[in-house]
């Protein structure tokens, strides 16, 4: 493990490498453009073969399905569902399904490609996929959600499978939705197929430790970054945006490691206490009150202020495009650990780089979830289940290895951690394409 600090090598910026006319930081809002901007930049640095470049730029499959269901009031409503498989060169497509009104094909394409890079960064034998249904789950009953899930699964039956495409939970989907997918697929197959989805309840073949895995991965990566930068654990101040599965778990685990969580936020607002927030207390408060707002023993602050607090570590774990050109310059943290997918726009990358902020990019920072999903798939296929210590030990090993693999690419090419993660991932996927050759 290297003790070299980030300041020992000057990080080359996009402009240094590509010249002033070829700035890859293009679009602030479109997630597909934002992903492609980083991909193009990393591909150029790798001098990627033009043929493989073209293959990796396109998703393998983009499927749009209509999902008609009967509403509880007897009426019929047709929803739109997407599933995109970006690349399966290294193994079956892997990626979550989200139920959200903001789902678009462009967003699903970006998220599917991110999954390809994420699985390659942590070196697990999966490709990338993603899916979504355009709906507002808050306006749907449980039985309506079940009908949407089952009809969407049936529409994708030919695509899904343990060897081809394996969904998982994402925004507004959970263990229960995964159980419905597993059951629907199994009914069509005429036998139980647990390995067709991950993130299932433990009773149905889910893995111990899956629920906490993404937040745990963030904690492990943050500890590695602190070690790399020569910063202590004890007393290091943290702010976390988003207090759901990823944010709350990361906050709890970072606190257990001796860091001081001074601010947290959710969709209802942010709270701050310079002496430290009782993360357990905030979790209990949300369990009872649903939202963070009104949480006692901390001062309510405007949500935007969380990003500009005097902290050492910032964990954006809520939504895309949280860190933009508008607020990047005001960030004072030394480390940003991207718990969410795509929390930093391509435009903000340059500003963070100029400020010398050490960014643990999403495709590394939040890969703990898909890593334990891989463990779940392995356990389902073996029919032999591990205890939680085994899961935690193996997750530690995979995350630490991935962190140092990315760091060594960053040093070798004098680039930041995000571009290094893309370079590592693209090279791993490209290597498989070269070995497999082209079937024609
Ligand atoms: P979640 O629904 O459990 O939690 C989301 C949290 O963000 C909630 O506390 C919500 O109130 C808060 N939030 C929403 N909008 C906000 C805003 N504008 N400002 C502040 N807080 C806001 O979701 P999650 O599973 O924790 O996922 C969070 C992010 O992490 C998403 O980008 C997701 O794609 C990514 N991610 C999740 C996993 C996983 O295993 N759950 C894995 C990889 C990446």
Q: What secondary structure does DSSP assign to 24-69, as a single string?
A: ----SS-HHHHHHHHHHHHHHHHT--HHHHHHHHS-SEEEEEEEEE
For range 221-233, the mean pLDDT: 98
- Probe target for ligand 1 pocket from 31, 103, 119, 244, with the most ligand atoms within 8 Å of CB: 244
> 3-state DSSP helix/strand/coil percent for the chain, to nearest 5?
50, 15, 35
Average pLDDT for 206-223: 97
| Residue 47: burial class (beta carbons within 10 Å; 0-12, 13-18, 19+) | exposed
Query: Is residue 12 classed exposed, middle or buried when 0-12, 13-18 and 19+ CB atoms within 10 A define those classes?
Result: middle
pLDDT, tens digit, for every residue of 33-59? 888 889 999 999 999 999 999 999 999
152-199 confidence digits (pLDDT tens) = 999 999 999 999 999 999 989 999 999 999 999 999 999 999 999 999
Q: Which residue has the tokens 């893309």?
A: 422
| 195 CA from centroid of ligand 1 (Å) | 25
130 is catalytic: yes
Gap from CA of 434 to ligand 1 centroid (Å): 37
Neighbour-count burial for 344-363, b at 16+ CB within 10 Å, e otherwise:
bbbbbbbbbbeeebbbbbbb
Distance CA 51, CA 56 (A): 9
> What pLDDT was estimated at residue 33?
81
- Residue nearest to ligand 1 atom 1, measured at CA: 244
For ligand 1, atom 21: residue with the closest CA: 266
Q: Whose CA is nearest to atom 15 of ligand 1?
A: 267
Tell me if 121 CB under 6 Å of ligand 1: no
Residue 246 beta carbon below 6 angstroms from any ligand 1 atom: yes
According to DSSP H, which parts of 198-267 are helical?
213-228, 245-256
Q: Residue 121 C-alpha to ligand 1 middle, in angstroms?
A: 21
- Would you say 27 and 38 are in contact if contact means Cβ atoms under 8 Å apart? no
**pTM of the complete model:** 0.93
Task: Give me the pLDDT at residue 28, please.
Answer: 57
Q: How far is the CA of 364 from the centre of ligand 1 (A)?
A: 16
* pLDDT one-digit tens code per residue, 282-331: 999 999 999 999 999 899 999 999 999 999 999 999 988 999 999 999 99
Please tell me if the CB atom of residue 318 comes closer than 6 angstroms to any atom of ligand 1. Answer: yes
Ligand 1 atom closest to Cα of residue 247: 26
């Amino acid at each position: 493990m290297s003790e070299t600090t980030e300041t020992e090598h000057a990080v080359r910026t996009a402009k240094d490498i590509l010249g002033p006319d070829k700035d890859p930081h293009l679009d602030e809002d479109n997630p597909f453009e934002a992903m492609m901007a980083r991909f193009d930049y990393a591909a150029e640095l790798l001098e990627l073969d033009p043929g493989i470049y073209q293959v990796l730029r396109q998703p393998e499959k983009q499927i749009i399905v209509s999902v008609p269901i009967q509403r509880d009031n007897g009426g019929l409503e047709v929803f739109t569902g997407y599933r995109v498989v970006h690349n399966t060169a290294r193994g079956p497509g892997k990626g979550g399904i989200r139920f959200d009104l903001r789902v678009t094909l462009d967003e699903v394409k970006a998220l599917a490609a991110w999954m390809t890079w994420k699985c390659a960064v942590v070196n697990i034998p999966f490709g990338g996929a993603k899916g979504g249904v355009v709906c507002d789950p808050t306006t749907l009953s449980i039985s309506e959600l079940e009908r949407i899930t089952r009809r969407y699964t049936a529409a994708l039956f030919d695509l899904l499978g343990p060897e081809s495409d394996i969904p998982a939970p994402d925004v507004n989907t959970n263990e229960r939705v995964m159980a419905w997918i597993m059951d629907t697929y199994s009914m069509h197959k005429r036998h139980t197929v647990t390995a067709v989805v991950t993130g299932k309840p433990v009773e149905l073949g889910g893995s111990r430790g899956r629920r906490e895995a993404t937040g745990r991965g963030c904690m492990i990566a943050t500890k590695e970054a602190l070690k790399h930068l020569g910063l202590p654990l004890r007393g290091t101040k943290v702010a976390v945006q988003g207090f759901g599965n990823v944010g709350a778990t990361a906050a709890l685990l970072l606190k257990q490691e001796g860091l001081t969580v001074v601010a947290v936020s959710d969709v209802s607002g942010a709270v701050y206490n310079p002496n430290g927030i009782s993360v357990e207390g905030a979790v209990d408060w949300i369990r009872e009150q649903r939202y963070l707002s009104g949480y006692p023993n901390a001062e309510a602050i405007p949500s935007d202020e969380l990003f500009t607090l005097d902290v050492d570590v910032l964990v954006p774990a809520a939504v895309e495009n949280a860190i933009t050109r508008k607020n990047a310059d005001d960030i004072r943290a030394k480390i940003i650990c991207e718990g969410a997918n795509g929390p930093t726009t391509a435009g903000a990358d340059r500003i963070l780089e100029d400020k010398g902020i050490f960014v643990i990019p999403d495709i590394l920072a939040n890969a703990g979830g898909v890593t334990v999903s891989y463990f779940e798939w392995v356990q389902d296929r073996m029919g032999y289940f591990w205890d939680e210590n085994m899961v935690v030990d193996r997750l530690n090993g995979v995350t630490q290895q991935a962190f140092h693999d990315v760091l060594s690419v960053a040093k070798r090419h004098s680039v930041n951690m995000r571009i290094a993660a893309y370079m590592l991932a693209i090279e791993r996927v490209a290597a498989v394409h070269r070995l497999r050759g082209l079937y024609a």
